[in-house]
């Protein structure tokens, strides 16, 4: 995929940061010395971690140069590294590994989650939130439009860019086997947005990227127009002119014994 756009991502900063706030509130640590923010993006979650643990060495990891540039300005007291989560390995045990809306882009969670847990110090926590919305209309319609247009062959692999979230039972079992206690929950956020165009704008910086990045300018315009029309049919206007974007998310905190 093309580089991520920090400015586009931050158009809905409050809505995107809320799950990180609520995830961090469930982390049962009084203090921490080493904290890593995996998929730190433009630093909104890293900022939360730095405030919660002001004495910690906080490191943000991301693959996007644009996101990292914004993060360095936003949280100058943290350090940031460009790296792939799947290959990342810390140079010392971590008290907290935090991943807010990042691991859905990393394959093989059966291997990944125990691997991340192995990097924790005794009593350390792995705190993860992942979107769990592939069955929502917002994402089903992406796949429908990709299959039905002249770009169908070009987008054959787009739907597999995102990793399907494993079941609660699978995640729980993998982390128990890794020597952790596990707190796991699912939340459905409901975001009132300013019409179908706002839903499209929200998703252009995340879920739509695998579908629109391979297209040329004309194809991208046509794809987004078809997708927008489909979204308008799936998300009716409310009495105040808003549309309600349902956004299920799966979260868990695994603490190493």
Examine the pLDDT at 164 and tell me if it is beyond 90.
Answer: no
Examine the pLDDT at 14 and tell me if it is beyond 90.
Answer: no
- Mean pLDDT confidence for 27-51: 97
**What is the span of the domain harbouring residue 107?**
6-256
What CA–CA distance (Å, rounded) separates 20 from 117? 19
In angstroms, the Cα distances linking 48 to 15, 25, 101, 104 are 15, 10, 15, 21
Q: Are 74 and 51 within 8 A, CB to CB?
A: no
pLDDT tens, position by position, 139-161: 999 999 999 989 999 998 887 77
Examine the pLDDT at 8 and tell me if it is beyond 80.
Answer: no
In a domain, 27, yes or no: yes
Residue 58 pLDDT: 98
What's 20's domain CATH number? 3.40.50.150
Average pLDDT value over all residues in the chain: 93
Residue 3 pLDDT: 47
In a domain, 21, yes or no: yes
Q: Which residue has the higher pLDDT, 206 or 136?
A: 136
What's the pTM value of the predicted model, to 2 decimals?
A: 0.90
In a domain, 19, yes or no: yes
In a domain, 1, yes or no: no
Residue 206 pLDDT: 85
pLDDT tens, position by position, 166-225: 999 999 999 999 999 999 999 999 999 999 999 999 998 888 999 999 999 999 999 999
Under the banding of pLDDT at 50, 70 and 90, the label for residue 121 is very high
Residue 13 pLDDT: 73
Number of folded domains that form the chain: 1
User: Around 137, how many Cα atoms within 13 Å sit in the side-chain half-sphere?
Assistant: 17
Residue 4 pLDDT: 47
52-85 as b/e: b if 16+ CB within 10 A = bbeebbbbbbbbbebbbebbbebbeebebeeeeb
């Amino acid at each position: 995929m093309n580089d991520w756009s920090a400015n586009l991502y931050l158009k809905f900063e409050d809505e995107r940061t809320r799950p990180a706030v609520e995830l961090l509130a469930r982390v049962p640590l009084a203090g921490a010395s080493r904290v890593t923010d995996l998929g730190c993006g433009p630093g909104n979650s890293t900022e939360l971690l730095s405030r919660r643990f002001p004495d910690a060495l906080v490191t943000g990891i991301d693959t996007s140069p644009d996101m990292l540039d914004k993060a360095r300005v936003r949280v100058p007291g943290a350090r940031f590294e460009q790296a792939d989560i799947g290959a990342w390995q810390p140079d010392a045990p971590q008290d907290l590994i935090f991943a807010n809306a990042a691991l859905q882009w990393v394959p093989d969670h059966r291997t990944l989650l125990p691997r991340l847990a192995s990097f924790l110090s005794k009593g350390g926590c792995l705190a993860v939130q992942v979107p769990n919305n592939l069955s929502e209309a917002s994402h089903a319609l992406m796949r429908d439009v990709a299959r039905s247009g002249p770009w169908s062959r070009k987008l054959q692999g787009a739907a597999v860019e995102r990793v399907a979230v494993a079941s609660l039972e699978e995640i729980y079992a993998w982390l128990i086997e890794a020597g952790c206690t596990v707190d796991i929950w699912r939340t459905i956020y409901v975001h009132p947005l300013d019409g179908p165009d706002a839903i499209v704008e929200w998703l252009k910086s995340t879920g739509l990227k695998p579908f629109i990045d391979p297209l040329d300018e004309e194809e991208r315009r046509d794809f987004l127009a078809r997708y927008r029309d489909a979204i308008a049919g799936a998300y009716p206007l409310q009495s105040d002119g808003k549309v309600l974007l349902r956004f299920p998310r799966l979260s868990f905190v695994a603490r190493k014994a």
